[in-house]
Amino acid sequence: MKDPYLLHMFNPTKNVSPFDVNMAYEAQFDGVIPYSEVALDDIHALTQDTIFSRGKKGVKRTGIFIGGREFGLAIDMLNRANTAMVPPFEVSVFADPSGAITTAAALMACIEVELKKKGEEGFNGKRIDIIGGTGPVGVCAGILAANCGAEVYLTSRRGTKVATEYASEYNARFGVDMYGADSSTDDKIMEFLTKSNIVIGAAKAGIQVLSKKQLDQASNLLVAADVNAVPPLGIEGVGVHDMGVELPDTPKKAVGLGALAVGDIKYKVHFTMFEMMKNTDTPLYLDHEAAFKVAREFAAKL
């Protein structure tokens, strides 16, 4: 095949995600080349091997995707790839470890829309508690929300100390203010849930983090969002296809966002980011902020 569109997938874990490979072919890359167990120190050499092998015209038909499981590491790899470019030998780079960036972007864009439907201005001044907040989706969602003026708490079943350590690490790296909270027991959850304006279930799949009884006591809750599509529901009462469905027994008639409803926006964002890589004349560095911008465009149409 002459002049193919090639996507090199740099992955720090043993396996490259089949989801990402499928999405790349859906976006009609002609060749998708996976690399596993890639270390941060490997990125510079791999990037320069990528850019110098196709000539000035060929680099426009070449991209790099960064996967893995860790949000922070993926951003580090994206930045390392950026510094390895030698214009005009430069290609677009897209980071999305475990789909966390596009999921978090879609999630926060959908929540923002639902807040505005309730007459709120958005995230500014709202308290957000992210249960399972130390995972990649939770961390990324927290950073996006904090940048929009929210008071963000990353919660952990391992207690406040662990959650605070995660929050402090990402605060220092991304210039935001997030806090840690304890979600190890129902009593600990209720300590913050009565203060929450927005609660997000971002724990591991197949774990219920909130019951309907707990939600019905959330006196300040406006939105409950769940990213778990695997039974049991992460947040009881929020269906996987719900998009702004009222939770009638909550004090402020909060609305629910389900995993597959958010996932529909995530899919569109993921696909669009690949399309952007293929169609740009200027190399792009697609991170969480870029994904959030695209997600807001799709969410605005809901």
Burial degree of 212 (CB within 10 A; 0-12, 13-18, 19+)? middle
pLDDT of residue 56: 84
pLDDT band at 206 (very low <50, low <70, confident <90, very high): confident
pLDDT tens sequence across 215-244: 999 999 999 999 999 999 899 999 999 999
Task: Answer yes or no: are the C-beta atoms of 196 and 172 closer than 8 Å.
Answer: no
H or E, element range at 50: helix 43-52
User: What are 37-86's pLDDT values in tens digits?
Assistant: 999 999 999 999 999 988 888 889 999 999 999 999 999 999 999 999 99
Residues 6 or more apart from 116 whose CB is under 8 A from it?
Answer: 122
Q: Look at residue 287 in the predicted model and tell me its pLDDT.
A: 98
pLDDT digit string, tens, across residues 145-185: 999 999 999 999 999 999 999 999 999 999 999 999 999 99
Domains present along the chain, CATH in parentheses: 6-99+265-299 (3.40.50.10280), 104-262 (3.40.50.720)
Q: What is the mean pLDDT of the chain?
A: 95
Give pLDDT, residue 285. Answer: 98
The pLDDT of residue 169 is 96
Residue 2's pLDDT band, with cuts at 50, 70 and 90, is confident
The per-residue pLDDT for 3 is 84
pLDDT tier for residue 204 given thresholds of 50, 70 and 90: confident
Reduced to 3 states (helix: H, G, I; strand: E, B; else coil), residue 161 is helix
Spatial separation of the C-alpha atoms in residues 32 and 65, rounded to whole Å: 10
pLDDT score for 205 = 85
Q: Given the structure tokens 């769940």, which residue do they identify?
A: 226
Look at residue 1 and tell me whether its pLDDT is greater than 80. Answer: no
Residues 6 or more apart from 277 whose CB is under 8 A from it? 7, 63, 92, 94, 284, 286
**Contact criterion met (CB below 8 Å) for 66 and 81:** yes
State the average pLDDT over residues 179-204: 96
pLDDT at 139 > cutoff 90? yes
